[in-house]
Amino acid sequence: MKREAGKSGRTELDPGRAIAYGEAEGRPVRLEVRQGPAPDPEGVYGGVFVMSVASRLLEMHPQTLRKYERLGLIRPSRTLGMRRLYSEDEIVRLRLIKHLVEEMRLNLAGVEFTLTLLSRLQEMRSRLRTMADADDPFEAMQREMNAVFKLLLQGE
């Protein structure tokens, strides 16, 4: 008889912690999250997965997930018992890492560079959107340029 890889279940929120219910390796699971992602605007966490379920979803060895965490490519939250919990966003990030390594043939330094670059591009896109939505876009652009120059001068 084949066991299911795992299911994401419901979660309950309290300030500073969440309790996740689901199924892992055919057994019911109740996990208390010590630290994790901030709740979304509706106040609900997305699904969280224990390492064994995440590794099956991604078709990656658990040791690979540990290695990516050690290198800082991902930061899974932990339960009170120190079990790793992978959010849906981290699963998407891990799929991207897997694509970069297996399909694009990047080494882990290249993956880290690419993820940093993507993060900075998203930040810039957000800043540009904020400037465009401002009452006076020219003044917003001047403030942004002043902040950039200030950062550049501090780097010397």
| Residue 22 predicted with pLDDT over 80 | no
Query: Are 101 and 137 within one domain?
Result: no
| Residue 100 predicted with pLDDT over 80 | yes
User: Quick one: average pLDDT of 100-109?
Assistant: 96
Give the domain-ending residue among 67, 83, 105. 105
Q: What would the two tokens of residue 131 be?
A: 């400037």
Query: Are 36 and 82 within one domain?
Result: yes
Query: Are 121 and 85 within one domain?
Result: no
- Considering 22-36, 66-80, 139-153, the range whose residues carry the highest mean pLDDT is 66-80
2-6, 18-22, 23-27, 150-154: which range is least confident on average? 2-6
- Number of structural domains in the chain: 2
pTM, entire model: 0.61
Task: Identify which has the larger pLDDT, 148 or 6.
Answer: 148
Query: Are 81 and 29 within one domain?
Result: yes
Residue 84, beta-bridge partner list: 78
Query: Are 120 and 95 within one domain?
Result: no
Q: How far apart are CA 61 and CA 8, in angstroms?
A: 20
The answer to whether the beta carbons of residues 53 and 5 sit under 8 Å apart is: yes
